[in-house]
């Protein structure tokens, strides 16, 4: 079922489980704060479980709870196999594959699980999430239609802007497209239960060359890894054949991480932080999640970049050291 975002897909799955009697969600301590919104909106109880520095989940779910398992940065969580074996017995498994849209998250045998996807993280889609619930989603609201076209315009402008790496930084252009993206994010946060997606979104997704996107992302990751592997602490040391990465995540000391991010932004290289630690997560109880939140930086390797761009990015990054 298509939805407006991965977050709204999560809401629909939790709503479905709540109607079946589930009242507790067991969440990874290393997560995006926005994932708490559907849980709180539905009035569900929740708890956190540890995620170690190898990004392995270590849940201890209450009986008949829902366990959220995140596949970080495109790699399947190392705990996946064991959790799939137990899924449907004493807990319900929800696999967040929003980072792993193009990786092989399928399974060769039947597994009782729910899957969340976010195609907009890998392509130029202004809206769009997905979950494996049956049925047809509600119609999109007029607000969603308006925001879709505004965001699509901003994405096209950003793409043109970023394809001119030697042009001067234009703060007005950056403010324009960033404000459009912010308006979409605010809408999705405010209307977390709104799931209707404009019909144009699935049509646009179907027209994209996902195979080409996968190949370019894998090539860019390998190029960047060859250039930086001995100079940084990469979160992943290898790229399995069935993995398509979201980015090239590395760990840097906290103060250095933020400085490097600011310097790269002045050169129009925008590196996301996954993720600030939510206030609901105790840094003392979950030190590895807190360290990941303080030190992780994701270098971009998306399909719009070519081989020369990866060389330029590595040079820019090394100059910040």
Indicate whether 108 belongs to any domain: yes
Same-domain check for residues 124 and 146: no
Same-domain check for residues 11 and 115: yes
Indicate whether 118 belongs to any domain: yes
Pairwise CA distance, residues 206 & 231, whole Å: 39
Same-domain check for residues 181 and 215: no
- 8 A C-beta contact, residue 49 and residue 29: yes
Same-domain check for residues 117 and 165: no
- What backbone phi and psi angles, to 5 degrees, belong to 80? -55, -50
Residue 197 binned pLDDT confidence (cut-offs 50, 70, 90): confident
Pairwise CA distance, residues 148 & 150, whole Å: 6
- Quote the number of domains for the chain: 3
Same-domain check for residues 84 and 173: no
Indicate whether 200 belongs to any domain: no
Answer left, alpha or beta for residue 64, where phi above 0 means left and psi between -120 and 50 means alpha.
Answer: left
* Residue in 251, 236, 237, 247 with CA at minimum distance from that of residue 271: 247
Indicate whether 75 belongs to any domain: yes
SS (HEC) of 100-118:
CCCCCCCCCCCCCEEEEEC
Same-domain check for residues 218 and 304: yes
Which pLDDT score is estimated for 129?
Answer: 92
Query: Can you give the pTM of this predicted structure?
Result: 0.92
Indicate whether 137 belongs to any domain: no
Which pLDDT score is estimated for 64?
Answer: 94
Same-domain check for residues 17 and 121: yes
Indicate whether 159 belongs to any domain: yes
Pairwise CA distance, residues 280 & 30, whole Å: 11
Terminal-to-terminal C-alpha distance of the chain: 45
pLDDT digits (tens, 9 = 90+) for 51-93: 999 999 999 999 999 999 999 999 999 999 999 999 999 999 9
Residue 167 binned pLDDT confidence (cut-offs 50, 70, 90): low
Residue 130 binned pLDDT confidence (cut-offs 50, 70, 90): very high
Same-domain check for residues 125 and 150: no
Residue 166 binned pLDDT confidence (cut-offs 50, 70, 90): low
Indicate whether 136 belongs to any domain: no
* Domain limits for position 89: 2-131
* Residue in 244, 202, 207, 199 with CA at minimum distance from that of residue 222: 244
109 versus 302: the higher-pLDDT residue is 302
Indicate whether 281 belongs to any domain: yes
With a pLDDT cut of 70, the percent of the chain lying above it is 96
Pairwise CA distance, residues 81 & 78, whole Å: 7
Same-domain check for residues 168 and 272: no
């Amino acid at each position: 079922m298509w939805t407006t975002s991965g977050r709204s897909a999560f809401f629909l799955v939790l709503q479905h489980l709540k109607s079946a009697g589930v009242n507790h969600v067991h969440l990874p301590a290393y997560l995006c704060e926005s994932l708490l919104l559907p849980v709180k909106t539905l009035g569900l109880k929740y708890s956190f479980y540890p995620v170690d520095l190898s990004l392995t989940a270590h849940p201890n779910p209450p009986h008949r709870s829902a366990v959220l398992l995140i596949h970080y940065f495109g790699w399947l969580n190392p705990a996946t196999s064991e959790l799939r074996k137990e899924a449907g017995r004493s807990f319900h498994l929800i696999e967040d594959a929003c980072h792993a849209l193009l990786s092989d998250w399928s399974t060769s045998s039947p597994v009782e699980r729910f899957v969340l996807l976010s195609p907009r993280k890998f392509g130029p889609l202004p809206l769009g999430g997905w979950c494996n619930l049956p049925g047809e989603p509600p119609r999109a609201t007029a607000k969603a239609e308006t925001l879709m076209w505004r965001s699509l315009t901003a994405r096209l402008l950003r793409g043109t802007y970023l394809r001119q790496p030697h042009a001067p930084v234009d703060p007005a252009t950056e403010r324009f497209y960033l404000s459009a993206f912010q308006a979409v994010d605010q809408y999705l946060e405010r209307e977390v239960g709104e799931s209707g997606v404009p019909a144009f979104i699935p049509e646009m997704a179907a027209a994209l060359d996902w195979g080409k996107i996968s190949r370019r992302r894998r090539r860019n990751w390998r190029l960047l890894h060859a250039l930086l592997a001995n100079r940084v602490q990469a979160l992943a040391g290898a790229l399995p054949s069935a993995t398509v990465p979201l980015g090239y995540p590395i760990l840097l000391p906290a103060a250095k991480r933020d400085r490097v991010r600011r310097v790269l932004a002045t050169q129009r290289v925008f590196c996301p932080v996954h993720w600030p630690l939510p206030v609901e997560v105790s840094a003392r109880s979950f030190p590895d999640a807190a360290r990941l939140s303080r030190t992780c930086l994701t270098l971009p390797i998306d399909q719009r970049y070519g081989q020369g761009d990866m060389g330029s990015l590595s040079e820019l990054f090394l100059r910040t050291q």
